[in-house]
Amino acid sequence: MMSTANYIRSDIQQMKAYAVADVPAGFIKLDAMESPYDYPEDMKKELGRALAAAPIRLYPNPGSCGLLQVLRDTYAIPADASLVLGNGSDELIERLTMLVSKPGAKVLAPAPSFVMYRVNAEFFGLEFIGVPLRPDFTMDLDAMLAAIKEHQPALVFVAYPNNPTGGRFAREKVEAIIAATPGIVVVDEAYGAFSSDSFLSQAGQIPNLVVLRTLSKIGFAGLRIGYACGPAAILDELKKIIPPYNMNQLSLCAAEFALQYQPFINENISRLKGERERMRTALHAHPCIQDFPSEANFLTLRVPDAQALFDKLYAQNILIKKLHGMHPLLDQCVRITIGLPEQNQKVLNIIDELYGNP
């Protein structure tokens, strides 16, 4: 009898599943850019009441739910931009890739960047072209433009700011990429809330630009809410391949509730930005650590031994992300999500222990 493995795509059998860390209880989780700020108790109670009123008997209707208008109002999404919700921006990355998945189509992005750009291209049998960043993690525009000219990609992803390097590429470079790309350019602003610039106000006005955003990094990773903004000519097609009822009724309700609390959200964002700069300054004082500018809620560092730092923090119940081994440019790099001030201080103290007090 044939094993089921004979029927499953062999390229998928060779892939590894996206690694989601199992975190022991009591650990400080600084590996996945989640917000460290929990809701105050009174807000939790109100959320409970809002969820109790959600019509979970019914299928959700993301197309007409209140969240769309709340997002438009909160983030000043241009009226002429279409807006599509995804079960996390991960789902939108997947479906945008599916949208262009004709035989021979190519997907292009700077590298290193968010791994799911490459992984999704592979899911759909598309060639992925990763154009190396410069060693300082800035974008090599000449290399990008040459690769776009050569490969004529159907889809280009630019994470703005970039993950896992943290920096924001120069706006003019991204504009040049949008102008040079024959296909769709997705400017992925997963970390847009922590950045000094955005393409959101251009959404709907540039025919090949889709701006991707998420609620995950500003306190709501568990809700799995991402959104794409762009011209109807692209997003009307995307809607056709989004699974029916892809959004969860409770998530839609919770997100609509949560976004009312803008002062709470904005205060947390500015605290994290402040902590990011405080940490960077402290780390910069270590001659053996290379720190990179970040406009996200994490810092990427090159240290003498990434595994040793990971292990030392892990031994003290702190989980960070080891980037070493993921891409040649990430040699001995780690990525540390910005946490609560006391958590960040703990990280700094452990780094001082390891590398000496500067």
Instruction: Give residues in contact with ligand PMP (CB under 6 A).
Output: 88-90, 114, 159, 163, 188, 190, 214, 216, 221, 226
CB of 226 to ligand PMP, least distance (A): 4
Identity of the residue, 216 or 300, whose beta carbon is nearer to ligand PMP in the bound complex: 216
Any bridge partners for residue 86, and if so which? 226
Identity of the residue, 272 or 351, whose beta carbon is nearer to ligand PMP in the bound complex: 272
Identity of the residue, 159 or 351, whose beta carbon is nearer to ligand PMP in the bound complex: 159
Distance CA 179, CA 209 (A): 10
CB of 90 to ligand PMP, least distance (A): 3
Chain residue whose CB lies nearest ligand PMP: 88
CB of 5 to ligand PMP, least distance (A): 29
Q: Is 163 helix (H, G, I), strand (E, B) or coil?
A: coil
φ and ψ at residue 232, rounded to 5 degrees: -60, -35
CB of 221 to ligand PMP, least distance (A): 6
Identity of the residue, 38 or 80, whose beta carbon is nearer to ligand PMP in the bound complex: 38
DSSP sequence for 279-327 = HHHHHHT-TT-EE---SSSEEEEE-S-HHHHHHHHHHTTEE-EE-TTSS
Distance CA 319, CA 31 (A): 6
Q: What is the 3-state secondary structure (H, E, C) of 44-80?
A: HHHHHHHHHCCCCCCCCCCCCCHHHHHHHHHHCCCCC
Identity of the residue, 114 or 128, whose beta carbon is nearer to ligand PMP in the bound complex: 114
CB of 282 to ligand PMP, least distance (A): 24
Identity of the residue, 86 or 346, whose beta carbon is nearer to ligand PMP in the bound complex: 86
Question: Any residues with CB less than 8 A from the CB of 121 and at least 6 apart, and which?
Answer: 97, 107, 127, 128
Question: Any residues with CB less than 8 A from the CB of 197 and at least 6 apart, and which?
Answer: 160, 168, 171, 295
Distance CA 178, CA 180 (A): 6
φ and ψ at residue 76, rounded to 5 degrees: 50, 50
CB of 299 to ligand PMP, least distance (A): 14
Identity of the residue, 164 or 204, whose beta carbon is nearer to ligand PMP in the bound complex: 164
CB of 94 to ligand PMP, least distance (A): 10
φ and ψ at residue 329, rounded to 5 degrees: -70, -10
